[in-house]
Amino acid sequence: MDQTQKLNAPIRKHIFLIVAGVLLLLLAAAAGFDWQISQTIGDMNDPFATLFQDVGLWTAPLIIILSCNIVCHYAIRSQQLAWYTRTLMVIGSVIYAGWELWAGYLKYAMTMVITSLNDINAGKPMGMANSDGSKLTLPGATSIILFLILYLVVFIGSQYWLAHKTDEQLHYLLKMAVVATLVCLLSDQIVNAMKTFWGRFRPYELNGNPTHFTSWFQPNGANGHMSFPSGHTQTAATLLTLTWFVDRDKPKRQRLVFWLTFAYGAVMAYTRVRILAHFTGDVTMSLILTWSLILILAAIVQQPLVDWEALTARSSAKNLNTEPIS
């Protein structure tokens, strides 16, 4: 291990230990004070939290749609694959991206926004909208127009971005697109399975009455209640994989994207507790599960989110260049 790697290892270790320590402390605190925290900071009329609830689920769909565009662009550019394989890649990625935008995001977001507006007009709390057990419906022409606009914007923007990549960069992006999509799908499956099995009441469902309150570590079985873990937080936490799509020769940009996407997951977690949709234990467990999955897959494919080695090397080189000559 060279000097750069020796300097690099503590950076990653310290970040991991700090984040893991904070999350475990939150989980421990939630075991004893989930109810008290919820009752103290909860407010279903918080517009910021309502905004995150209604339209904040764009993260995992964006990762999947971006990954589909990478597959599509790779198939179009590659001459090594058989024509029928390339055709299947293009058709499959275009359809899957469209489906993810429509069913994975747009239906939910528009339904929630409309429901929130109706609740406000009816004098109800703006954040009480919830999709558990409900059927999501959309207004016809408006939703189709919005879908086409969003799809074309993302498609054209992604293809323009990918057109400026070298073949080597595109091959790397293809690999990471598969890994990032796997993170989104696996974390979603894990959280949804736990939701059903745990059967935990949401804070707003209890309406200030702790009769049916249970701690996060106590599963109740399938009963239709789905508070633990938080789906919104899991989806937001997957945005951290966006760091993989940043060029490997731009470590500062990787670091910026890393902290911005990390912050988005943390803010989403707070808003879910704030709006009384989840307890602290629910959102903390989602962060632990999703970020742990990203960490595991990063180790498997040997591709860290941030090239800390390059950052350390550049910092060391800069210090050497600016050091006064004696």
Inside any domain, residue 10: no
Inside any domain, residue 115: yes
Euclidean distance between CA atoms 100 and 62, whole angstroms: 9
User: Average pLDDT of 65-88?
Assistant: 95
Say if CB 68 and CB 94 are below 8 A apart. yes
CA 218 from chain center: how many Å? Answer: 26
Asked whether residue 97 carries a pLDDT value surpassing 50, the answer given is: yes
Inside any domain, residue 178: yes
More confident: 16 or 281: 281
The owner of tokens 């935990």 is: 200
Asked whether residue 212 carries a pLDDT value surpassing 80, the answer given is: yes
Inside any domain, residue 20: no
> Could you give the angle at the alpha carbon of 233 between the alpha carbons of 197 and 277, nearest 5°?
70
> Could you give the angle at the alpha carbon of 55 between the alpha carbons of 49 and 60, nearest 5°?
110
Structural domain including 289 reads 47-204+221-311
Inside any domain, residue 235: yes
The DSSP H or E segment spanning 251 is: helix 251-274
Inside any domain, residue 66: yes
> How many residues are recorded in the chain?
326
pTM of the model: 0.89
User: Average pLDDT of 285-303?
Assistant: 96
Omega before residue 229 within 30° of 0, cis: yes
pLDDT in tens, 227-274: 999 999 999 999 999 999 999 999 999 999 999 999 999 999 999 999
In the chain, the number of structural domains is 1
Inside any domain, residue 11: no
Say if CB 180 and CB 67 are below 8 A apart. yes
Q: Worst-scoring range by mean pLDDT, 120-129, 187-196, 229-238, 296-305?
A: 120-129
